[in-house]
Homo-oligomer: A and B are copies of this chain.
Amino acid sequence: MFKPTIIVHGGAWAIPAELTERSLEGVKVAACRGQEVMTRGGSAVDAVVAAVSSLEDDTAFDAGHGAVLNLKGEVELDAIVVDGQTMDSGAVCGLQGCAHPVQVARLVMDKTSHCLLSGSGANEFMQAQGIARVPESELVTPEAQEEWKTYVQFSSAVKNLFSERSAPPPPSGCDTVGAVAMDANGNLAAATSTGGITAKLPGRVGDSPIIGAGAYADSTVGAASTTGHGESIMKVGLARRVGELLEKGETAQQAAEHALDFMSRRVGGAAGVIVLSKGGETGTCQVGTS
């Protein structure tokens, strides 16, 4: 028997003062939900899905309710779950009108022979599975709308002055969420969910729904969930890179630090990661964020 363990994160960006209390409360509630699931005999997969679902309900985070808006002012959601026992995985990207994208990701894993469904195909799958589409107005917060308006105004001013390729907007306090867990059987799982980045191009897919980038789990090695600048994380396969370093014998903390070091040196970018090794050790690290 192993000791059931869960770690959750609510992103790695600086949390503004007015969000600190809600953010801390949100990750505590999510961790407790996940832990309860395992206490009642649930698996690590059940636990990370429960924890991330809880964070998707909480508008303090950029996932499900509270997600940021794309360039058109729409919500497009990405999520993944990975089962470390089989290395099976389910993920969705560009999902719209969904309260719990991580639950649709799990259905992709359990009900299809695929790992990742995108856009309108993901939406059709969700509805075929009997999950009702929620009105976008239920997901969008006034803060997300405000941030989008600020960006669009700033961007159109910059575009006229400089070039079409504008820098990404400054990050808000809301951020990607994730969880890693080990259950009583020693199996590991990871899950990640996000609305991406404000004013992303429609259809933009970041690291979160990508195996090895936004999440990784192999019960013979460890599990990781990442957050931060999606493109940097994808380029280096941050979550899998943590797995590589665990395989080499590094501790969970060393693996988190060294994987982020590599990302910073090779492609730049800001990110954070949570890690759980097969031995139950935990590690967390962030770079380029404050």
Binding site for B on A (CB under 8 A): 76, 86-89, 93-94, 111-122, 124-125, 164-165, 167-168, 200-206, 210-213, 218, 230-231, 234-237, 240, 244, 266-267
Stoichiometry, copies per complex: 2
Tell me the bound Cα distance from A237 to B89 in angstroms. Answer: 12
Q: With A168-B113, A213-B211 in contact, is A202–B120 under 8 Å at CB?
A: yes
A87 and B235 in contact, given A111-B164, A113-B167 (Cβ under 8 angstroms) = yes
Given the known interface contacts A119-B94, A121-B204, A201-B112, the answer about A237 and B212 at a Cβ–Cβ threshold of 8 Å is yes
Closest chain B CB from A75 CB (angstroms) = 13
B121 touches A267 (CB 8 A): no
Known contacts A119-B119, A244-B244; is-contact A267 B87 (Cβ 8 Å):
yes
- A114 — nearest CB in chain B belongs to which residue? B204
Given contacts A118-B93, A118-B94, contact A88 B235 (CB under 8 A): yes
Q: Which residue of B lies closest to A110 (CB)?
A: B165
Contact of A201 with B121 in the complex, beta carbons under 8 Å:
yes
Task: Collect the chain B residues with CB atoms within 8 Å of residue A94's CB.
Answer: 118-119, 121
Name A's interface SS. Answer: mixed
A260 to B213 CA separation, bound complex (whole angstroms): 20
A203-B120 contact, Cβ under 8 Å, with A113-B167, A168-B113: yes
Q: Can you list the 5 inter-chain pairs with the closest CB atoms, starting with the nearest?
A: A121-B203, A119-B119, A121-B202, A212-B237, A118-B118
Residues of B contacting A211 with CB < 8 Å? 210, 213, 234-235, 237
A-B contact pairs, 8 of them (CB 8 A): A87-B235, A94-B118, A116-B206, A118-B203, A119-B121, A122-B203, A124-B203, A125-B203
The residue on B at minimum CB distance from A89 is B235
With the chains together, A234 CA to B113 CA distance in Å?
13
Q: A120-B119, A212-B212, A266-B87 are in contact. Are A200 and B114 (CB under 8 A)?
A: yes
By a CB distance below 8 angstroms, the chain B residues around A87 are: 235-236, 266-267
A234 near B202 with CB under 8 A, answer no
Chain B contacts of A237 at CB under 8 A?
211-212, 237, 240
* Known contacts A202-B121, A202-B124, A267-B86: A115-B167 contact under CB 8 Å: no
Cα A88 to Cα B212 with chains together (Å): 17
Given contacts A211-B235, A235-B211, contact A120 B120 (CB under 8 A): yes
Cβ–Cβ < 8 Å partners of A164 in chain B: 111
Instruction: Verify B114–A201 contact, CB threshold 8 A.
Output: yes
Complex CA gap A202/B116 in Å reads 11
- Given A125-B201, A201-B121, A244-B244, A116:B267 Cβ within 8 A: no
Q: What is the bound-complex CA distance between A200 and B201, given in angstroms?
A: 26
